[in-house]
Amino acid sequence: MKGSATLPCELCGSIRYRTRYQFEDFRLVRCMDCGLLSVQILADEGDGKDPYDQAYYESRQDYYFQNAVTNPEEGLENENIADFKRGLALLEAYKNPRGSKLLDVGCALGIFLSLARERGWDPYGIDISRYAVEYAQTRFGICAARGELTDVRFPDREFDVITLWDVFEHFRNPSAQLQEMHRVLKDDGVVLLDTPNAEALIRRISHLLYGVSLGKISYPARKLHHVFHLYYYSRKTLRSIVRKHGFDIVWMRGKPIPLVKARGSALERLIVKGFSALEKRLDMQYEILVLLRKAS
């Protein structure tokens, strides 16, 4: 989201913001009325090059390529793959995969959809990255479309399940995406959504350090926020925005970050691992996992 903070808040429509962090290339602002955190990009957004190109995925080798799905000969079933399998098991408590259509929004390389197909789901994907969509199509034979959900125009009530793994925070227009999800989901369908927790313990500590140092200790906060994530949701703001667009919450819970997603030095990964254990005890985990259904 580029430009002035006078744009109305995506959740409540307010134009009252307060800057939370000021970095070289973006600022993070907090709506003073509802508390939603949003990113304002300050630097030039470039020449229109796809930010989610091949280089983006290859810079995250451990996460995307060194696993038992994309590299079955040498890869390991890392925490992310185990996380996907747990997600499918959660969904299967509500839906029989046989004959059920599953749409993964922000499907990336199709890893999750490949696992879903093995368990009997009829998988479909959508992603804005050309490289990712082509990889999912050629490597896994996934039926995947390029673009945003609002662009593709699937038929009404087409899908039994919609999943969003680490993508909801990337949307420039989350309200429009939720409205479209509501349209293409069957009346008895469910949505599984995973997104970073704005109030995770590690983020609270980084905010405290930033504040008491008057912004001089900025590295932890900068490391935990970046230009790819345009919104950061707390349980409260996530609950509000999904309800606003016609979804009931079946359950909402905290979820620790799969350490394979923790990019940084060995020391930084160790710190994240330590925080994950404490966050679980305090129910202030790094991510939020929520199951939704259409409001009755």
pLDDT for residue 1 is more than 60:
no
- Give the mean pLDDT of 32-36: 97
- Tell me the mean pLDDT in the region 267-292: 88
Question: In the CATH scheme, what is the code of domain 77-196+233-294?
Answer: 3.40.50.150
Six token digits for residue 105 = 């929004």
pLDDT score, position 47: 56
Q: Which residue has the tokens 């079955």?
A: 72
Q: Using CA of residue 76, residue 79, residue 83, residue 84, what is the dihedral sign? A: negative
Q: Which of 260, 277, 284, 272 is nearest to 224 (CA)?
A: 272
Other C-beta atoms closer than 10 Å to the C-beta of 119 total 15
The 10s digit of each residue's pLDDT in 51-93 is 888 988 888 888 888 888 988 887 777 888 999 999 999 999 9
Rounded Cα distance, 170 and 91, in Å? 23
Q: Where in the chain are the domains?
A: 1-49+199-232, 77-196+233-294
pLDDT tops 80 at residue 3:
no
- Whether 37 and 232 have beta carbons less than 8 Å apart is answered as yes
